[in-house]
Amino acid sequence: MKRTLLVFLLLVSSSVLAQKIERTLIIKDMDTQLPIEDVTVLVAKTKQILLSNKEGEVSFIVNGNSNYQLSHPSYVSITVRPATLKQKGNIIYLKSSLNKLDELVVTRQHPQKILKSLVANSIKKFNVPARLKVYCREFFKLNGVYSYYTDGLLNFQIVGDKKKLNSTILVEQNRSFGVVEDEVSADLLGYNLNDIMENYYTFKYLAPLLDPKAKDNYYFLVRSYSENDAYYVLTATPLDNSKGLLDEFKIIYDNQKNLIIEVSSKISEISLARNPGKTGKGDKNIYMSNVKTTYRVEEANYFLVSSKEEIGFEKMYKKETKNIEVRNYLVTTNFSNQNYTYREPQVFKDKSLINKGNSILTNYWDFSGLAATDEEQRIISIIEKKM
């Protein structure tokens, strides 16, 4: 009897282990064969969300049978069935939905007015309250050398309304390593986690385009694509006679639902060339700034699915100038419209995970929703060895 029971338990154990298999998707453009970054992969069974990296790679554990839904604002969405994922690495091709000649949209409304309507309706449609389980990753570079790295699994609970939005953060696990001089420690806090969600949920980065004076500084344009009549693209480019350090913007939106799907911006090269740097102590001369946020519409739900921010600047100190770059990623791995319960001491109130001691329970970064590229993994290993 004992032998029979032992055999039975071994068979059950083997069956369970056999279902937990590591799989990797390499997602490529069907026409160019190039990897596609920022493809959202939804595990239908668990509702887990994954995001492809710069190499088009997504890694995950297969735990039972589930379909995988792949979507990207610029590509035709597809569903991958588990039976097709027979290899550890599987190449998946997506067809571009924006590769045909784009068409100018003729509208009676000025694009700025369209954008104001989009922002107002998108804020209204966000699920609030909501809970986002997020994987956060941040790199810090000082004078051309990567000096610090941090990542972690966080739970953001978002409450309030469009007039006053707040987020409470609980940290599940995190790690930080590297060495940075005390003099630049304030600049190490590149992105404040305690207000970052409010920025994304109120479209703070679009504020320059919503200003009434924006018409004097920007050229607005709305385009549609012949193969995708649902999505429109609104662009805003600084005019030749504009003043100040200005960004150029691209907003992809669902014209039928009047919802913003993606926002990206970067410093205009022309604007950068026209603005010489300052040389006083404490001055900060920005030479690189990139922001990209993507949002997901899922039945009745609308929420942030990912963000990527990069900033590079020269900081003038008393004796020298230092070059600082910070790169931050957020990926929503799970969404829920249910609140969680917590005790006040559990709330994370600092600006960055750098301020929190390491708490590592599992190798969460290996299947965090955003796989590190080979180059990123090399950087992480180098920084870790410096400790």
Q: Which tens digit of pLDDT belongs to each residue from 209-263? A: 999 999 999 999 998 876 777 889 999 999 988 888 899 999 999 999 999 999 9
User: What pLDDT was estimated at residue 230?
Assistant: 85
Same domain as 341, residue 257: yes
Same domain as 186, residue 111: yes
Same domain as 267, residue 156: yes
* C-alpha 44, offset from chain centre: 21
| Owning domain of residue 33 | 16-94
Same domain as 345, residue 265: yes
Q: Residue 3: inside a domain, yes or no?
A: no
Q: pTM for the full model?
A: 0.89
320-345 as b/e: b if 16+ CB within 10 A: eeeebbbbbbbbbbebbeeeeeeeee
**Last residue of a domain, which of 31, 63, 94?**
94
User: What pLDDT was estimated at residue 22?
Assistant: 80
The CATH number for 34's domain is: 2.60.40.1120
User: What pLDDT was estimated at residue 181?
Assistant: 66
Same domain as 120, residue 69: no
User: What pLDDT was estimated at residue 13?
Assistant: 38
Q: Residue 1: inside a domain, yes or no?
A: no
Same domain as 88, residue 121: no
Same domain as 324, residue 192: yes
At 345-365, the pLDDT tens digits run 899 988 888 878 899 999 999
**Nearest-CA neighbor of 26 among 13, 15, 39?**
39
Q: How many CB atoms lie within 10 A of CB 303?
A: 23
Same domain as 300, residue 236: yes
Q: What is the mean pLDDT of residues 338-348?
A: 88
**Last residue of a domain, which of 94, 110, 145?**
94
User: What pLDDT was estimated at residue 317?
Assistant: 79
Contact 241, 218 (CB under 8 A): no
**Nearest-CA neighbor of 137 among 380, 385, 349, 381?**
380
Same domain as 112, residue 59: no
